[in-house]
Structure 1
Amino acid sequence: MITLAPRAAHAERSLARRDAALPGLPWLLDNGRLSELLGETVRVTRVRYKPGTSLLVAFRRTRNGSFDYGWAMTRTPASSGKLLEREHTARGRGGDMRILRPDHGHPDTLVAVGGVEDDWALHRNLTWLKRNGIGRLDLRLRAGAAPLAGSSVLRYKPERRLVLLAHKASTAVVIKTAAKPAGPGQHTQFLNRLRHHDVPLLPQIADDECLANGISASTAWGTGDLAAHGDTTDARAAAYTAGQALAALHCVPVAAGVAGPAAGPTPDNPGDGLAAQLKATRTMVSALLPELEPLARDLETRIAALLLGRHRTAPVLVHGDFSPDQVLVGDSEVRLIDFDRAGMGTAEADLGSFAAAEEAALLPAAGGVAEGGLPSSGVPDGGAPAGTAAGAPARGPAGGPKTVLLTEGYLDAGGRFSQAAVDAWASCRLFNSSVDPFRDRSPEWAADMTWHLSRAKELIP
């Protein structure tokens, strides 16, 4: 059982007192209380929190010697009727969703609990995967079984996506089921365009009908992502090669609209999406740690002024969410993955995103075990590199050793960038991801949030 650090535990008690509209909140944020409520040992792995409205968590448990996932949700007493309606619907289709009342003194405090198959937003597409997708993908799963039978869960974000590992003959296959149809960045026409311009990708096996039902799939490849590889010869070579691959991506000519929504402000997109994201982050930081609101508000203003007010260069095709865990490694070769957010933007956005993600992965809390039991970073357990939440913020340009090698490969392949712009975009990612330690249930989430904001401030003038 993971125990919260004193500051994080205090912050959650304060949060529960402030958000009296959600009386069920304390049961869902505490592993021990949720385990007691469910009658089995569980660990919360992901949180979606809407202050004053709802709290939805994913949890992991061990059953029959393997990991199993589920979810729990609470809403305000005034809107708990929606949970009862969902329970009625779930029972009608043979689901296992149930309603619990954790506080006998307040029977209107409800907690809904279910398995992955009962996920309200994913249910339709998981059902399609079971009835049609398994056959179309030619997967080796038991006929008529639930979507999880014969497969294992790699990642689960409730009401967003479920990532499975299955098998096709002797080949491992990674299947992603999303709540919405696959975006343009996952379609064959776009991915073939990238391959034509020497961007290293994984073979895709999902057809158009699969994509229309939120199902994408590719063969498994390599020995893990770049975030999970430490300072080895292969990892260093892979970081350099990833820089070359990123340069190739940025050189791909793409007609307007082919790659989906822009991943950053461009002449055709004045940045409304970015401004809204910055505002949403500031609002959430204020809700979680009110003492950080002045810093968050200052960062929102300064980052917006830098990224939306500066003279911008011609946009290029960008990944949109580039980070070490979007680079798969096999010996010294790489494959880039997850182009859901690909679009037209500035090259420094990808470079800054990678640099920020590398720094954040060096936080002590990130060196543990990720979902599925795989290491979440190359930092040994207990490691505390300079620049973590436990010490002074890192100095100098954004990123770490992998970023240095990535940019070397990028430059050698013909890429060009402004370091000041890279740092500004790294600051943006650190700011927007500052709430991730809370969402990912880091035991040190309060300290980690503070580090994110402090480092974001340090990277901009």
Structure 2
Amino acid sequence: MTVSATIDPALPALTTIFNPAELSALFSRPVHADRLRHKQGVSAVARLRARDPRDGPPTGSGSGATPEAAPRWLATYAPHHAPKLDKTLARAARQGHHLEVVELPGRHTLVAGPISLDMKLHDTLHAFNGYNARALEPGAVLNYNPHRRVVFRIETAAGPVVCKAGPTNPAETAFLAELTARGVPVLQRMSPPDMPHTSTLRYYPWFGQGDLHQAAGRRDHTAAGSAHSAGAALALLHAQPAHLAPKRRSDPLDKLRSLSKRKLHLTPTNQTRLGRVQAALARRLSEGDRAVLVHGDFSADQVLVDSPGVLLADFDRCTVAPPAMDLGSFVAVDLLQARTSSRELRSDFLTGYEEAGGHVNEESLLAWTAVHLLDRLNEPFRSCSPFWQDETEERLEMLAALVS
């Protein structure tokens, strides 16, 4: 693939980041990059994984299998910005960490390192020095978004808990406690006494057998019932007083304006098509709808499953907005995940929502599903897919069909 170099001539190493075979050859093991954070003309930072997650679980992934190696960050900088890595290189030398440095032609470099040396997270993770050296070892990391957040399982005296390291809202604890008191099934924060505590660390109890998307993917026969329960739980959340929201009311058109300003890597023809889609959505969202307390980023992977119960998690974007903001988010992600999931969840989810007293406005649901597809239009690029252009075009076709 050569198209990445034309996207950003200042970062020719993007070509390698988008090529799993070439990347694997350079690092002498099977690897794949995703979660790309690209700053035009300056830098590209991604998550480096030990295998391509789209290949499915490795053979023998049951009991006794070797856990997947912990993800690492992968970075490249334009030569005039390369000094940004100097502090990280010096820190690695002081702390005895191993950084992988691959020199490329033209003074370009690829550098990979452990999560503990993430440029934006290392101060937060430094709090674990002397507490638990096993925190980020293979098998413990549940999710990692370079320069933003890492989620990992950690053992405490009372048993396993989940730690999220990254930006946090100090009002979250009281908010989740209030929702629980009102009967909304949410994952509460906790404060384990034998762990470090800072403003950028959050702890939650270990719950269930994974999330709803995982349950559907592994052909769990309870997934349909869990999707129904998730819909009912969301209806209960939407019925709560809007003043509980930790963030101000969200203007639907503000969301659309922010998406319109993004510099998506589209051809001029597709940019024109996208402009027409955005104009049509602006007309639909301007019609208005009642506003309620919403999750703000709702999808099957925000629903933790422990059959027959569920808990809603990750309320970082909770706000006040039309209920279809959550419903459309769930449906959009379900549509996009149809290729990797053994079943679709949206029908059972919407049925559970309505049976629990929620009202589904079909026009609003359609519009918000399109908004969330637009929000995810750049995902193939951020996933470093070698076929990102074709995959982006497919998503644009799906988006255009919804608003036609």
Is the shorter-chain TM-score for this pair beyond 0.5, marking a shared fold?
yes
CA contact (8 A) 2:70 2:138 kept: no
* C-alpha distance in 1 between matches for 2:13 and 2:185: 47
For the structure 1 residues 253 and 195, does the alpha-carbon distance in structure 2 shift closer, same or farther, using more than 3 Å as the test?
same
Within 5 A, what are the aligned runs for 1:369-408? Answer: 377-378=341-342, 401-408=344-351
TM norm structure 1: 0.76
Question: Matched residue of 2:36: which SS?
Answer: strand
Residue 319 of structure 1 pairs with residue 295 of structure 2: yes
Residue 215 of structure 1 pairs with residue 201 of structure 2: yes
Equivalent residues, number = 388
Shift of 1:41: 3.2
Tell me what 1:190 maps to.
175
Tell me what 1:370 maps to.
none
* C-alpha distance in 1 between matches for 2:345 and 2:7: 41
CA contact (8 A) 1:37 1:102 kept: no
Segments of structure 1 that go 5 or more residues without pairing to the other structure are 1-8, 135-140, 368-376, 380-400
The one-letter amino acid paired with 2:280 is R
Identity of aligned residues (%): 29
The one-letter amino acid paired with 2:309 is E
Q: Which is worse superposed, 344-353 or 442-451?
A: 442-451
Shift of 1:454: 1.4
Tell me what 1:391 maps to.
none
User: Residue deviations 1:155-189, cap 9 Å, x none?
Assistant: 111111111122234733222111x2x1256x220
* C-alpha distance in 2 between matches for 1:431 and 1:446: 15
Tell me what 1:240 maps to.
228
Tell me what 2:54 maps to.
none
Residue 278 of structure 1 pairs with residue 260 of structure 2: yes
In the TM superposition, structure 1's runs of 4+ consecutive aligned residues that sit over 6 Å from their partners are: 207-211
CA contact (8 A) 1:235 1:332 kept: no
Tell me what 2:8 maps to.
19
Shift of 1:449: 1.7
Question: Matched residue of 1:201: which SS?
Answer: coil
CA contact (8 A) 1:210 1:216 kept: no
* C-alpha distance in 1 between matches for 2:184 and 2:154: 26
1:148 to 128, 136, 152: 136
Question: Matched residue of 1:34: which SS?
Answer: helix
Residue 438 of structure 1 pairs with residue 381 of structure 2: yes
Tell me what 1:386 maps to.
none
* C-alpha distance in 2 between matches for 1:203 and 1:75: 40
1:176 to 160, 164, 176: 164
2:368 to 425, 433, 454: 425
User: Residue deviations 1:337-357, cap 9 Å, x none?
Assistant: 111111111101000110111
User: Residue deviations 1:205-238, cap 9 Å, x none?
Assistant: 2479967532122122222221122365521211
Question: Matched residue of 1:447: which SS?
Answer: helix
Tell me what 2:57 maps to.
none
CA contact (8 A) 1:199 1:248 kept: yes
2:393 to 442, 450, 454: 450
CA contact (8 A) 1:87 1:98 kept: no
Tell me what 1:350 maps to.
326
For the structure 1 residues 441 and 79, does the alpha-carbon distance in structure 2 shift closer, same or farther, using more than 3 Å as the test?
closer
* C-alpha distance in 2 between matches for 1:210 and 1:436: 34
Give the root-mean-square deviation of aligned CA atoms: 2.7
* C-alpha distance in 1 between matches for 2:385 and 2:206: 28
Shift of 1:146: 5.9
* C-alpha distance in 2 between matches for 1:170 and 1:184: 24
* C-alpha distance in 2 between matches for 1:23 and 1:326: 36
* C-alpha distance in 1 between matches for 2:330 and 2:73: 30
CA contact (8 A) 2:235 2:358 kept: yes
The one-letter amino acid paired with 1:298 is R
* C-alpha distance in 2 between matches for 1:234 and 1:64: 28
Question: Matched residue of 2:44: which SS?
Answer: strand
* C-alpha distance in 1 between matches for 2:256 and 2:19: 33
Within 5 A, what are the aligned runs for 1:16-95? Answer: 16-61=5-50, 66-95=68-97
CA contact (8 A) 2:256 2:278 kept: no
* C-alpha distance in 1 between matches for 2:386 and 2:108: 26
* C-alpha distance in 2 between matches for 1:119 and 1:218: 23
For the structure 1 residues 212 and 378, does the alpha-carbon distance in structure 2 shift closer, same or farther, using more than 3 Å as the test?
farther
TM norm structure 2: 0.87
Shift of 1:319: 0.3
User: Residue deviations 1:276-315, cap 9 Å, x none?
Assistant: 23321xx2232xx5552222222233223322x22332x2
CA contact (8 A) 2:18 2:385 kept: no
Shift of 1:27: 2.5
Segments of structure 2 that go 5 or more residues without pairing to the other structure are 52-64
Question: Matched residue of 2:41: which SS?
Answer: coil
For the structure 1 residues 146 and 124, does the alpha-carbon distance in structure 2 shift closer, same or farther, using more than 3 Å as the test?
farther
Shift of 1:250: 0.6
